[in-house]
Amino acid sequence: MGGQEQDREHDGTPRRVLVTGGAGFIGSHLVEHLLSLGDEVTIIDNLSTGRMRNLEGALDRVRFIEASVSEGLPRLGDDEFDEVYHLAAAVGVELVLSDPVGSIRSNVIETDAVLRFALEHGKAKVLVASSSEVYGKPGTSVFSEGDDLLLGPTTVTRWSYAHAKAIDEHLAIGYAHQYGLDTVCCRFFNTVGPRQIGRYGMVLPRFVQAASRGEPLRVYGDGTQTRCFCDGRDVAHALPALLRADARTERVFNLGSDRPITILDLAKLVIRTLNSTSAIDFIPYDVAYPVGFEDLRHRKPDLDRIRAAIGFDPSYSIEQTVRDLFAQMQSEIRVEGGVS
């Protein structure tokens, strides 16, 4: 930890923080948390997946630049930052499958631009949002940070995202080793909650939206595949704690829940929690994703490393997340319909 940052922490001066993708699902929750900590926040977001409504109540307290990362960084001039949270990325299975070239460019070139900017402007600490996708399809039932990565062939489009995020991690670790930049990578597992949208294949908002309308919940495959779902608000609170942890010695951390649930049971939970009359439809993968898709049967993180670093323990139950996501969706419907 540099002397300048130590002084800033001791004298109570607000940290200067840059958040890319700050209008997104996780990014907006992070921005709110940083503001609650007294930090000065600048956001760069091109609003391709983020939404201004996610920042309601925060816009008058942040500097917002609507641009891609590589276009927005030069507009910061000579500004220096203490911390950078790089969350801007191409996300969602459907988006990656429909635009693999754009997704790769966004996830690799923009990450390098952020790291180079941080190095040249105050040598800020940088947190890079990565993904559990980098594990590929290992034979283990629990994914640990030190595991070998087993990615699928380059001819299967689905794996382009995993390759790109792995390169992002290599870049972040390379900047740390080669230039002394303090970097950390967070491999997000399935993150869900208010402000998430189902447009790009996100399962929980799709389920909640369908259940709220009494429409069938579409479960891909036989529904026995398992995932561990963590609320985005838990994730957002963990990020600054991790970047600021004095005891942090590792560069890569899993971040999510380690409580698995089958997708079929998730659908049933949503229906039950919302008292919905919806049925469940099973959709074959080749119908849901006709081009270049492979699924993993199970995905569960080993959280020992992040627990040792910051004592991470998710606080939101999946039922609470479902209720809050439903309430947010209903609120947006009332606003769009002109109901006060």
Catalytic residues: 161
Q: Is the CB of residue 255 less than 8 Å from the CB of residue 189?
A: yes
Q: Is the CB of residue 251 less than 8 Å from the CB of residue 173?
A: yes
Where do the H-state alpha helices sit in the chain? 3-11, 25-36, 69-72, 93-98, 100-120, 160-179, 203-213, 232-243, 263-273, 285-288, 304-310, 318-336
- Residue 340 CA to residue 331 CA, distance in Å, equals 9
- Residue 34 CA to residue 85 CA, distance in Å, equals 11
- Residue 251 CA to residue 306 CA, distance in Å, equals 11
Of 24, 21, 20, which Cα lies nearest the Cα of 199? 24
Of 327, 304, 4, 18, which Cα lies nearest the Cα of 144? 304
Strand blocks (E) in 141-197: 183-188, 191-192
- Residue 95 CA to residue 102 CA, distance in Å, equals 9
Tokens of 86: 């790089």
Q: Is the CB of residue 23 less than 8 Å from the CB of residue 49?
A: no
Q: Is the CB of residue 158 less than 8 Å from the CB of residue 96?
A: yes
Number of residues that this document lists for the chain: 340
Tokens of 197: 């949208």
Strand 183-188 vs strand 125-131: parallel, antiparallel, or unpaired?
parallel
